[in-house]
Every structure is written in structure tokens, then in C-alpha cells.
Amino acid sequence: MNIGEVATASGLPAKTIRYYEDIGLLRAARGANGYRHFDDRDVRMLSFVSRARSLGFSIDDCRSLLSLYADRDRASADVKRIAREHLTGIAKKITELEAMRDTLEDLVSRCQGDDHPDCPILDGLAGAEVPQ
Amino acid sequence: MNIGEVATASGLPAKTIRYYEDIGLLRAARGANGYRHFDDRDVRMLSFVSRARSLGFSIDDCRSLLSLYADRDRASADVKRIAREHLTGIAKKITELEAMRDTLEDLVSRCQGDDHPDCPILDGLAGAEVPQ
DNA sequence: CATAATCCTTCCAGTAGATGGAAGGTCAAG
DNA sequence: CTTGACCTTCCATCTACTGGAAGGATTATG
């Protein structure tokens, strides 16, 4: 399989796959013409990475997960730890975004949104009191 | 005021303030010794940016907001539009993160987390069925 | 068989938003 | 006078790609 086919199969752009090779996430075999070629294992591996990335795992997380994935003797506890740490990070981001949303919703709701220059949003951003 | 004092007053690192000058978000006056110096207006402006950034507005949003902030004749509707667009973006991110969290929580809850190699998390990432 | 379209290669640059560090000038205190 | 804190510029680095140019390989069409 050439890179284009793998891109379609794995859901990752060809550019991204080359990039992953560049940073050592994978090694690709080369044909006589210099083209990379891939087998089903590569496709599975790239799909794995694609899924993990879409769940917000960093490239470094992916490296760890891939080595655990490849290691027949790994303990599931190791994987669970990485996933748990990641969950904590996600939960924190959600909390922060919700706080942003609440503040901003409050500011927006106070704003008339008309031709007048008075704007509670700008006032709020400028540091004026924004009571609960 | 020197940059360090402004950094303390605005809550932004000095490095960040220099960076903001670099990208043209602000212009700083210079003393005879080459040191930047700032007045209260600058501090207010930087606090404004600091707040907007912490609410997730991009630097470009900040540019728009600052020019609206400085414009006595602006309509609050303009500000409201920017804030609303931003709210939509935040809501989308929250939804995505919640979906991630749910999938990952499901995978984690299925994982024994022991010494055994069977791991539903890796299976899930590898593309196995993860029923609702 | 010629040619055009598509696919592949490498390499370089850029994105957002800073942050870290080196090398060196300035200033205030003791 | 020296020490240390603070300031300056410049260059590199981070994450995770993405875009594009220049050019070679392959495939499809006339």
C-alpha cells in the first residue's frame, strides 16, 4: 500500500503520516522507487493513533500507548494509569471551559447589543465587577 | 513604570508583554536608557487582554475587542457578536471534551487495571466495538 | 508512444502563543 | 566598587501539524 491508500484507510492525511515517521512514531518500509509502503499492521497502528489523538491523547501518550499495545506482557494497570491521568486533564479543561462559558454568557446577557456604546461585555473584560 | 511592575500589576509575565509588543498588540514608550515604560492606561489595557485571553479569546479577538474598547462610538452589538461567536466555539469544545470523557470513562471502567494483559482500553483504541 | 493527470518524494516555512536561555547593558544598595 | 536585581535583544524551542514549491514516478488517455 502506498501512503495515499493508508491515509484513506487510517483516516489520517498523508502529510500527517509522513510527519509521524519524521518524529519517529513509526518506521515505514521503502520500495525501489523510494515510495513508502505499508502493510495492514501499519494501518492498524495508524488507526490506533488516529483514535487516541481524537480522544485528545498527546503524541507522547500515543508513544506510551503504542509500546504498551505492542507489549504482550504489559499490565493493564499501566494503560489504566495513563488513561486516568488523561481523564483528569479532560475534566479540568471541561471545568475551565464551563467557567469561561458562564462568565461570558453572563456578560452577553447583560449586553443590549444595540447601537449604543454602553457595553457590559467590555466593562466586564476591563475588570469591572461582575457579581454572581 | 518598568516592565516588571506592569507585569505584576497586569498579571502577565514580562516576557508575554514584550511578545505582545512584538506582534503589535501594543506600543510601549521608551526611556533614555532603552527601558520600556508604561502608564496606567497601558496597565488597564494589558489587564483587559489578560482577562480576555483567560476567557479563551484569541489574540486576534483581543485586537478587535481592544479597538472596540478604544472606540467611544462603537455599537455594543459589535462586541456582542464577537462574544457570541466565541461562546459558540466554547460550547463546541465542551461538547467534544465531554464526548472524549465519556468514551474514555467507559473504557477505563471496563479495565481491570491489574497485572493481566487484557485491556479494554487498548482494545477500544485499536478499534474494537465499544457498545454504548 | 506521447502527454497529461495524479501520486509520490524532500525540504522549507509558517501557524498560535508564548516560553527559555544566552549575552550583555543599567541601576540601586551596601 | 561590587553585587544582585532588573532590563535589553535575539535566537531557539514547544505542539502537532499544514501548505507549498520543486521535481521524480506512475497511471490513464488519446
How far: B13 CA to C24 C1' (Å)?
Answer: 21
Q: Name the 3-class secondary structure at A78.
A: helix
pLDDT > 80? residue A115: no
Mean pLDDT of chain A: 86
Q: Model confidence at A128, in pLDDT bands (50, 70, 90)?
A: low
How far: B33 CA to D1 C1' (Å)?
Answer: 22
> Are the beta carbons of B118 and A56 separated by less than 8 Å?
no
- pLDDT digits 0-9 by tens, A36-95: 999 999 999 999 899 888 878 889 989 988 888 877 777 788 888 888 888 888 888 888
Residue A38: phi and psi, rounded to 5, are -125, 150
Residue with CA nearest to C7's C1' atom: A4
CATH architecture of A1-56: Orthogonal Bundle (1.10)
Distance of CA A99 to the CA centre of its chain: 21
Q: For chain B, which ranges sit under pLDDT 70? A: 127-132
| Listed residue (B110, B42, B122) closest to A72, CA to CA | B122
How much is the pLDDT for A4?
A: 96
* Domain ranges across chain B: 1-56, 75-132
**End-to-end CA gap in chain B:** 59
